[in-house]
Amino acid sequence: MIAGSASAIAAAVRSGDRSAVEVLEEHLARVGRHEADIHAFNLVLEDQARAQAAAVDQAVAAGRDPGPLAGVPVALKDNLCTRGIPTTCSSRILEGWKPPYSATVVERLAGAGAVFVGKTNLDEFAMGSSTENSAFGPTANPHDLSRVPGGSSGGSAAAVAAGFAPLALGSDTGGSIRQPAALCGVVGAKPTYGLVSRYGLIAFASSLDQIGPFALDVADAALLLDVMAGPDPCDSTCLADPPPGARARLAGGVEGLRVGVVRELANAEGLAPEVQGRLDDAAASLSAAGAKVDEVSVPAAVYGLSAYYLIAPAEASSNLARYDGVRYGLRAGRAAGTGADPTDILAMYTDTRSAGFGAEVKRRIMLGTYALSAGYYDAYYGKAQQVRTLMVRDFDAAYRDFDVLLAPTAPGTAFELGAKTADPLTMYLNDVCTIPSNLVGHPAISVPFGTGADGLPLGVQVLAPALGETVMFQVAAVLEAAAPPTPASPMRGEAR
């Protein structure tokens, strides 16, 4: 266990060596010093967190086990419903909305003794790769405040990297956990589709979204995943069978395992030479540890970006139709004191959605609506789904010969704030290596693996077949042990 890790904190709190209140106050103090510079949070839950921490300490004093996350501060992405607490998706259209229920994962973490520090900033409705699309302003990378933290779960990644919480939850639709994890120098994992309940996750693209962990190390990410995974009758897409244990073989090594380096992702468009160099180093470290490493081709992976940016916007245009000013959130128009005649419902819809959604969300709604429209459905959305099927077949073929696959996570290190906001296509390329796992529903994890020439973190990805979390974390642990040093952010102030 590393200092300040979730595992170390939980062990100390459960044994009575530390109090949950003391742990929380240390983290809140760091938030107080640095949050204004980073803007990781949309809302810091000081009062609720103190009440949760006190309850954990009372349980320990009474001889009860608070759970495997006893007293561990956790940050929650602000697209996860929290009962009675504002949940915004970083969008004006959910202004003032407080959910009447909590997401299943939030309930499971609370039951395991976690303490919720706050709701983290994100690209609006999780649509973005830099956390610059938030209606509440961008988040900065704790390693360099002039750089982005990645997205869309940039607030969660930044919160862990800055030491505001040792664990955080994000959602991953096309790389929104793994890409910011790489840019912020932390561990981030996307589970198998259906392994973790999506009940209470505000939907972006329902066939792609998955909730997953951010952590300081692989063991903590596995711990958090094991706490939140498992069947849920509230989510019909959640798998009914017991989940594989992410921690089952963390110390198992890679002797004899077959690792395939994905040719199409290792040579993807826009990859910096240093990214390819780190990927080569990661492959060499696994080979030195006893794995059988070779190159593998997944031909349809090259079409992942194109297919994704038809499928995801199409699902988003359907999911976001519910935000109309009638049921909850923002209402624009004369009935709300501005604009259209209150008797003109179409004008109210138009005014509300125009005022409530940001530019990137509008762009994707329009793209998705076009792809689903009569005369274009077969040519665009239908073809994209056919490509998705080809990708499933190609990945299945690769896993007949290899236990896991290896790929870069992001094309480079964190880029400067504002550098790509004017060019959506350049921004979309940040997800070129992460999108395939979402389209096929397989798990993947990003592990910090040294730095680029600018001294900022880089990550490499381990991909596994469906329900292959056990072997995925097993390989990730070996990579972590072999990784070049990744310096901690100045806020966290301790070396990895």
Rounded Cα distance, 390 and 397, in Å: 11
The CATH number covering residue 47 comes to: 3.90.1300.10
Residue 151 lies inside a defined structural domain of this protein: yes
Among the listed residues 90, 152, 171, 446, the single catalytic one is 152
Partners of 445 in the beta sheet?
189, 462
Residue 247 lies inside a defined structural domain of this protein: yes
Please give the pLDDT value at position 495: 38
User: Does residue 98 carry a catalytic annotation?
Assistant: no
Asked whether 353 and 359 are in contact (CB, 8 A), the reply is no
Partners of 148 in the beta sheet?
none
Please give the pLDDT value at position 3: 55
Residue 63 lies inside a defined structural domain of this protein: yes
Asked whether 238 and 231 are in contact (CB, 8 A), the reply is yes
User: Does residue 152 carry a catalytic annotation?
Assistant: yes
Asked whether 257 and 291 are in contact (CB, 8 A), the reply is yes
- Under 8 Å CB-to-CB from 255, ≥6 apart: which residues? 289, 290, 291
- Under 8 Å CB-to-CB from 54, ≥6 apart: which residues? 20, 21
* Polymer length of the chain: 496
How many Cβ atoms sit within 10 Å of the Cβ of residue 342? 13
Among the listed residues 19, 77, 130, 446, the single catalytic one is 77
User: Does residue 287 carry a catalytic annotation?
Assistant: no
Total domain count for the chain?
A: 1
DSSP 243: P
Say if residue 100 is exposed, middle or buried (CB neighbours under 10 Å; 0-12, 13-18, 19+).
exposed
Residue 51 lies inside a defined structural domain of this protein: yes
DSSP three-state, residue 300: helix
Residue 168 lies inside a defined structural domain of this protein: yes
pLDDT along the chain (496 residues), means of 10: 82 98 98 98 98 98 98 98 98 95 98 98 98 98 98 98 98 98 98 98 98 98 98 97 96 98 96 96 98 98 97 97 90 61 78 95 97 94 97 98 98 97 94 98 98 97 98 98 92 60
Global pTM?
0.96
Please give the pLDDT value at position 342: 55
User: What domain range includes position 232?
Assistant: 6-258+445-482
DSSP three-state, residue 103: coil
Among the listed residues 5, 7, 176, 446, the single catalytic one is 176
Q: Of 13, 37, 249, which Cα lies nearest the Cα of 158?
A: 37
Give the residue carrying structure tokens 């100390």.
Answer: 12
- Under 8 Å CB-to-CB from 396, ≥6 apart: which residues? 465
Rounded Cα distance, 213 and 53, in Å: 21
